[in-house]
Chain A
Amino acid sequence: MFKIPSKEDASNTYRYRQIIFYPDLYYYVSKYVYKPLLYRFSKKEKIQDVLDLCNMIVNYNGIKIKTSDVIIYDTKDNVFGLYDSICEREKEKTSISLFKHLDDIYVSFINDDGNLELDDLIYKVRKYAVTIVDRHIRTYYYDPTEGNASTIINANPSFRKVKENIDKIINACDDRDKQQILENLSMSLLKRNNVHDLDVYNKSLEVYNELLGKL
Chain B
Amino acid sequence: MSYWENYKELLPEKSRFLNHVFDEKLTIDITDYVNVDKVENDILFDALGDHIKDFNEVDSSDKNYFVFNNKIRVKKRAFLKEILTDDCYKKEIEAIRDTTGRLFITIDFYWFLRCSDPDYVSWSSCFAPNGCYHLVPYEFATGKGMMMAMITNTDMTRIIGRKWIAIPEDKENYEKVREILCLKTYGTFPILYQQGLTRWIIEHIFNDKKENWKAYSYKSDQEIISKLESNISVERVCGGGRYKKLFVDSERKPIAIYFDPASYILIPKEINCNDGIGGLVIFRGIDEEDDDDDDIIESDDYDREYVNEDDDYYGHCEWCEDRWPVDQMHEVYSDDSRFAGVMLLCEGCVDDYAVYDEVNMKWYEADWFNRNCHILYVYKPTISDDHLLLWETVSDVTDYPELNVFDENGRCIFRVYLLIPDVYHDQFMQLCSNFVTQIGDDEYQIRSYHPNIGYIFPNLIDLSGLTPSLPKEENNNAE
Residues of A within 8 A of B (CB): 1-2, 4, 23-24, 26-28, 30-35, 37, 57, 61-67, 94, 96-97, 99-100, 103, 142, 144, 147-149, 183, 186-187, 189-193
Contacts and interface: CB of A to CB of B under 8 A. Distances in A.
Contacts of B458: 100, 103
B375 A148 contact: no
B49 A32 contact: yes
B455 interface: yes
Contact of A100 (B52, B79, B86, B454): B454
B451 interface: yes
Given A62-B72, A66-B55, A96-B455, A32 B47 contact: yes
Interface of B: 46-47, 49-52, 54-56, 68-69, 71-72, 74, 79, 82-88, 92, 374-376, 424, 427-428, 430-431, 451-452, 454-456, 458-459, 461-462, 468
Residue among B376, B424, B431, B455 facing the most chain A CB atoms (10 A cut-off): B455
A185 to B, nearest CB: 10
A212 to B, nearest CB: 9
Given A35-B83, A66-B54, A67-B51, A94 B468 contact: yes
A190 B84 contact: no
B427 A186 contact: yes
Contacts of B72: 61-63
A65 B49 CA distance: 10
A63 B125 CA distance: 40
A138 B367 CA distance: 27
Contacts of B47: 32
B74 A35 contact: no
Contact of A32 (B79, B84, B451): B84
How would you classify the secondary structure of chain A's contact residues: helix, strand, loop or mixed?
mixed
Contact of B455 (A57, A99, A189): A99
B375 A64 contact: no
Contacts of B462: 26
Contacts of B79: 1
A148 B461 CA distance: 28
Residue among A31, A32, A62 facing the most chain B CB atoms (10 A cut-off): A32
A33 B88 contact: yes
A62 B71 contact: yes
Contact of A190 (B46, B51, B83, B376): B376
How would you classify the secondary structure of chain B's contact residues: helix, strand, loop or mixed?
helix
20 contacts: A1-B82, A4-B82, A24-B51, A32-B46, A34-B51, A35-B82, A37-B83, A62-B69, A63-B56, A63-B68, A67-B51, A97-B468, A100-B461, A148-B85, A186-B427, A190-B376, A190-B427, A190-B456, A191-B375, A192-B375
Given A63-B52, A96-B455, A183 B431 contact: yes
A96 B82 contact: no
A33 B51 CA distance: 12
A103 B451 CA distance: 15
Contacts of A186: 427, 430-431
A64 B48 CA distance: 12
A34 B375 contact: no
Nearest to A95: B451
A34 B428 CA distance: 35
A67 B83 CA distance: 13
A9 B51 CA distance: 23
A1 B49 contact: no
Contacts of B69: 62-63
Given A28-B51, A62-B71, A189 B427 contact: yes
Nearest to A148: B85
Contact of B374 (A4, A63, A192): A192
B85 A33 contact: yes
A62 B56 CA distance: 9
A136 to B, nearest CB: 16
Contact of A147 (B50, B71, B87): B87
A35 to B, nearest CB: 6
Contacts of B86: 144, 147
A100 B82 contact: no
Given A2-B83, A66-B55, A32 B461 contact: no
B375 A190 contact: yes
Nearest to A63: B68
A34 B84 contact: yes
Contacts of B431: 183, 186, 190
Nearest to A99: B455
A128 B223 CA distance: 47
Given A34-B88, A193-B374, 13 more contacts: A23-B51, A26-B462, A27-B50, A27-B54, A31-B88, A32-B84, A33-B88, A34-B84, A37-B83, A61-B72, A62-B68, A64-B52, A191-B375
Contact of B451 (A61, A96, A191): A96
**Pairs A-B, 10 closest by C-beta atoms:** A66-B51, A96-B451, A64-B55, A33-B88, A147-B87, A28-B50, A23-B51, A33-B85, A192-B375, A24-B51
